A and B are shown apart, each in its own frame.
Chain A
Amino acid sequence: MPIDKSMNVLIVDDYKTMLRIIRNLLKQIEFNNVDEATDGAEALSKLRAGSFGLVISDWNMVPMTGLQLLQEVRADARLKQLPFIMVTAESKTENVVAAKQAGVSNYIVKPFNAETLRDKIEKVLGHA
């Protein structure tokens, strides 16, 4: 079964440039329904109000970090199964462990390339 590329994807990053980069890379692999948030709180609000099939989030944001967003998502009965990819410059072992413990679906370290992004999305959506 092919990936449903018409799904809504939420990308979360406090750098507008990064949002633009990820949006364009997603567009190149035919994910055209992309929404954006610039911090965890805004993302959580959008997730609770809408219907998304995938979250791609940065970690280092204020006031709510990507990890806190992930924890909130996993604690929410309606959102807890939502695929969640962390895309971050945080590359310490303890970060990866903390993200995994919080229930991250996959983890991409910045700077990343388009191939890595595509590969992780396919893995997370179960079509690797």
Chain B
Amino acid sequence: MREAAFTSWPASDAPTDRLDIIRARCPDIDPAMIADVVRAILATMTGDLSSKETALLSEVEELGRTIASAKAEIAAIRADDITGQHIPSATDELDAIVSHTASATNAILEVCETLDQAGGALQAQSAAQLQEATARIYEACSFQDITGQRITKVVATLKAIESKVAQIVAAFGPQDVALMSGPPPEAAIDPQAALLNGPQMAAAAMEQSEIDRLLASL
């Protein structure tokens, strides 16, 4: 009841006006005492926040606004689509490429095998020419193995990206689960796995002649 009595203040916010109202409504209370209490409270607050602390508080508030903004932006770009749709779709497409090139390569090899068989009925010179030609086709068909290994590396990279995006979504996304506690623990280094690098880009790859020299030097 007492609180309700003070909820309607006059348009003026001047402290003297308010003290007049208190004096009118509660004649037993000395407004000077109230003024003393307020002054005492204000006195205890003196020096609570230095200018440095005020600046820090401001920075913290700004940081809070930035985090809220980042969360809103992550939610808006629908990052979960990357893990739920885009990357699975990309890996499926890459798998399809491997499958289709394997089918095409096998069809080419089948034709070559037929030509090799037919070469048996030819004269020696013609048979040799045909065999040389099919050997070159066999060599060229090894592209399927190389591209397959390269695509496997790309798929592994995509899956790593998918995992990282999922962690970001979990930390900052709409679900707003607890922040990540830190980077994932380093996996133990497997000496066998460390040597599985797959095909190298042309600039980094060694030629057969370089490998021959290296082997001979060991």
* Interface of A toward B, CB cutoff 8 Å: 13, 15-18, 20-21, 24-25, 27-28, 59-60, 65, 67-68, 89-98, 100-101, 106-114, 116
Contacts and interface: CB of A to CB of B under 8 A. Distances in A.
Contacts of A15: 144-145, 148
Interface of B is mostly: helix
Nearest to B193: A65
B206 A17 contact: no
A110 B139 contact: no
20 contacts: A13-B145, A17-B141, A21-B139, A59-B195, A60-B196, A90-B196, A92-B204, A92-B206, A95-B195, A96-B211, A96-B215, A100-B215, A107-B211, A109-B206, A111-B142, A111-B146, A112-B142, A114-B135, A114-B136, A116-B208
B20 interface: no
B197 A92 contact: yes
B150 to A, nearest CB: 9
Contact of A18 (B135, B142, B195, B207): B142
Contacts of A25: 135, 138-139
B112 interface: yes
B199 interface: yes
Interface string B102-146: 100110010011001000000000000001001110110111111
Contacts of A112: 139, 142, 208
Given A17-B141, A21-B142, A89 B211 contact: no
Given A20-B106, A24-B134, A97-B214, 16 more contacts: A13-B145, A21-B138, A60-B149, A65-B192, A68-B192, A89-B146, A90-B196, A92-B195, A92-B200, A92-B206, A95-B195, A95-B197, A96-B214, A108-B208, A110-B146, A116-B208
Contacts of A59: 195-196
Contact of A17 (B102, B131, B204, B218): B102
Contacts of B195: 59, 65, 67, 90, 92, 94-95, 98
Most buried by A among B141, B142, B204: B142
Contact of B199 (A27, A89, A94, A116): A89
A118 to B, nearest CB: 10
